[in-house]
Chains A and B, each alone.
Chain A
Amino acid sequence: MTTMNQTPHHLRNKRPIRKAPFVVIPIFLLLWMIGVAAGEPARVLEQAVQVCLSCIGIG
């Protein structure tokens, strides 16, 4: 019978790999790709290169 004390140290401290990040990140990567395919970056750039007066509290 293998007890805790007999288990090698490196195996005793081994943690399972968390799978959640590998699900979440591709989902948002897919969303990003859909947005890019829809042409959003051009619209974002169009907005970002203009001074947004109402955004900064002027006008």
Chain B
Amino acid sequence: MEFVRKWVQVIIGFLTNSSWAFPFTKTIYQGPLKVICAPGLNCYSCPAATTYCPLGSIQQLLGSLRFALENGQHYFGLSVFGSIGVLGGLFGRLICGWACPFGFIQELLHKIPSRKFGIPRMLSYGKYLFLLFFVVVLPLVLVDEFGTGHPWFCKFVCPAGTLEAGLPMLFLQPNLRNTIGLLFLNKFVILILFLSWAIFSSRPFCRTACPLGAFYALFSKVRLIKLHLDEAKCTNCKACHHVCPMGVKFNESPDDPECITCLACMNKACKFDAISLEIGGLPLAVADRGLTPASKP
């Protein structure tokens, strides 16, 4: 199943970044597909991006809300919130585990052999602060003399934007290199910090700073597809604790907002079939460890 998940990550990463004309056009894709919302964190200024980033769009829409209202345009970001809300209601943070290119990059980096460290649970609340302040409040409230707010998260934090868009655009358009300043340096340092951290800890950006992950985490109890714990079968052996890339103690918190439904606990850890994948309460899949029902313990 891990093999399938890796392929799904590759395919979705490719589908959301499938415009490969940029070496010739020297700019980003500008076609109509960009009206489609990317499920994961994928900068729309990436030269290959064929979809829009929901976080970037929300910040842009909220930042220009006053200007839009003055012109009789009611652009509150409802279509964007609606898109990621439907995705959240269906999949929740399963999207982080299966469809986010930046999450996939962190997973690959974590495979580099090194000493591994956990991440304190307290840091996981940081992403909710980024969602509330950097994505919603600051773009909406702090406006310039023209009444326009800035995309605070994209501008000052987002390492995915630096990796997928900033660096490639500097390579494609040499004249942009003259405009590099403290802003880019700040973002580049943040990118290096998170990429380095990803070698030693599993998915540090997803767990501590990703506002999109924070939004999808709000659906942890109500999403359609999620993991189910059969308490009657669970022996509290805690095997699920050791395989979770997000530090979830599944037997203690089956609806944990950090769960990205990577299925590691179900397929790699639980020997008692206590964990299953369900859709709206109906069983969708049970553990796939290559065991036949008769050979299971």
Mask for A23-45, Cβ within 8 A of B = 1, else 0? 11101111111111011110111
Is there an interface contact between A35 and B79, defined as CB atoms closer than 8 Å? Answer: yes
Is there an interface contact between B176 and A58, defined as CB atoms closer than 8 Å? Answer: yes
Q: CB-nearest residue of chain A relative to B154?
A: A55
Residues in A whose Cβ lies below 8 Å from that of B219: 24
CA distance A58 to B165 in the complex (A): 10
User: Contact size class for A?
Assistant: 35 or more
**Given A15-B228, A53-B179, also A35-B222 (CB < 8 A):** no
Residues in A whose Cβ lies below 8 Å from that of B283: 15
**Given A17-B282, A43-B61, also A38-B74 (CB < 8 A):** yes
CA distance A45 to B83 in the complex (A): 14
Is there an interface contact between A57 and B278, defined as CB atoms closer than 8 Å? Answer: no
Q: List 9 A-B contacts (CB under 8 A).
A: A16-B281, A28-B85, A32-B79, A38-B78, A41-B35, A47-B61, A48-B56, A49-B28, A55-B165
* B contact set with A: CB distance below 8 Å: 27-32, 34-35, 43-45, 52-53, 56-57, 60-61, 68, 73-83, 85-86, 88-90, 150-151, 154-155, 158, 161-162, 165-166, 169-170, 176, 179-180, 183-184, 186-188, 219, 221-224, 228, 278, 280-283
* A contact set with B: CB distance below 8 Å: 15-18, 20-25, 27-36, 38-41, 43-45, 47-49, 51-59
